[in-house]
Structure 1
Amino acid sequence: MAKPSRNTAAACPCGSSQAYPECCGRWHDGPLALQAPSAEALMRSRYSAFVLDKLPYLLATWHPSTRPAALEPNPPDLKWLGLTVKQARDQGADHATVEFVARSRQAGRAHRLHELSRFVREDGKWYYVDGDLS
């Protein structure tokens, strides 16, 4: 998948029908940075950040209680193929889960990441906490 810049009208990597700047791009950079309005919007923006190697965004949206010290960029032979959101559920005003499947290919082998992710909202911002793989 091509890596769109924030000024391009290319489709958003998260698979929405919107262009990147109007979709996940607005949460990555600019006046709305780090302000995804829902757990699902944050999860989609994090997927796009993984595709685009926006590592500072990924760390900033990872809850401090579970955040790794650092992240590695994508290997050159990794290609992200798509995202499917299976369900998004609010569990009160400040907790939510999002179930998704992210597909990729590396070294000619297909990979499928199926996760039920947990999110929390603190001080008006959503954060990824952790998830269960299936």
Structure 2
Amino acid sequence: MRSRYTAYALHDADHVFRTWHPRTRPDHPPVDREVEWTGLRVVRVEGGGADDDTGIVEFVARSSGPHGRGALHEVSRFAKRAGRWFYLDGDPA
């Protein structure tokens, strides 16, 4: 989760793409160069440990951009595949 936030903050679409589960990822990840990500707060984590195959992360990510300041509050689902964690999808919280 934190590496994906950092990738969005650095506008690293390649990392966002590589950490998105192949079953659900778009052809072009939504990385907006006009948005500046200014903070991440993890609200809760379920699963996601070394012995788990799935995990959930609820977070709030703050941003600023051409339309002002905002926050993304999401509950994200992750799955482990070949020993690596991948973002599956998320729902607004």
Normalised to the residue count of structure 2, the TM-score between the two structures is: 0.88
Report the Cα distance in structure 2 between the residues aligned to 1:116 and 1:62, rounded to whole angstroms: 15
Structure 1 stretches of 4+ with a deviation exceeding 6 A read none
User: What RMSD, in angstroms, separates the aligned Cα atoms of the two structures?
Assistant: 1.6
> What is the aligned counterpart of 2:27 among 43, 61, 69?
69
Q: Which runs of 5+ in 2 are unaligned?
A: none
| Greater relative contact order (Cα < 8 A, sep 6+) | 2
Q: What is the 5 A alignment of 1:1-134?
A: 43-76=1-34, 78-90=35-47, 93-107=52-66, 109-134=68-93
Change (3 A) 1:105 1:57: same
Percent of pairs with identical residues: 42
Greater CA radius of gyration, 1 or 2? 1
Which is richer in strand? 2
- Structure 1, unaligned runs of 5 or more: 1-42
Aligned residues: 91
- The one-letter code matched in structure 2 to 1:63 is H
